[in-house]
Amino acid sequence: MARPRRIVLVRHGESEGNADDTVYERVPDHALRLTATGRRQAEEAGLRLRELFGGERVSAYVSPYRRTLETFRCFGLDPSLVRVREEPRLREQDWGNWQDREDVRMQKAYRDRYGHFFYRFPQGESGADVYDRVGAFLESLYRSFEAPDHPPNVLLVTHGLTMRLFCMRWFHWSVAEFESLSNPGNGESRMLVLDERGRYFLDRPFERWCTPETYDITG
């Protein structure tokens, strides 16, 4: 099994929806574009990635949303070194078709009180649903490692919540731990690095906005 040395997760650059939440009333979530700021963030992330990867091969998986696809294109990676695949399981949490701004704000307030993992948007997904499809993607990713010539780098271009849930699934974090963490900023990354013992560690933690509750599940 040829496990990669690095698994890099990048959140898309700033989108039209990040800059103006009224746009969800007119444009489907999956069709939102990057803003000028978002393109600059993606280009800056691309500089860091090109320096990180050097001349090494990369296996890339990109959410099918327009803002993630545009982010990947802004990276400027050498196409001769990158095998890229569109991966729907890495998409944003589904909120349910057209969105009314005031309703979305109310739903977000409900989610903050109820919990981001279990709260289900009325016509969309819960965080737990995203966790399940991320888990299904991980099974496919693990199988890809069986190829003896698997690239030494994996790149995932996705969304903030999906990044946290990927790490939750990989590192077996509790729900309380997940709930205590904040999404990375637009264009930010986190990296799983393979150490000499054959284990992956996170290059830097997610910011924590509260102390997680702990429970003894053995009692």
The catalytic residue positions are 12, 92
Question: Exposed, middle or buried by CB within 10 Å (0-12, 13-18, 19+), for 123?
Answer: exposed
DSSP state of 9: E
CA–CA distance, 73 with 70 (Å, rounded to integer): 5
Among residues 154, 148, 177, which one has the least CA distance to residue 164?
Answer: 177
3 state SS for 147-184: CCCCCCEEEEEECHHHHHHHHHHHHCCCHHHHHCECCC
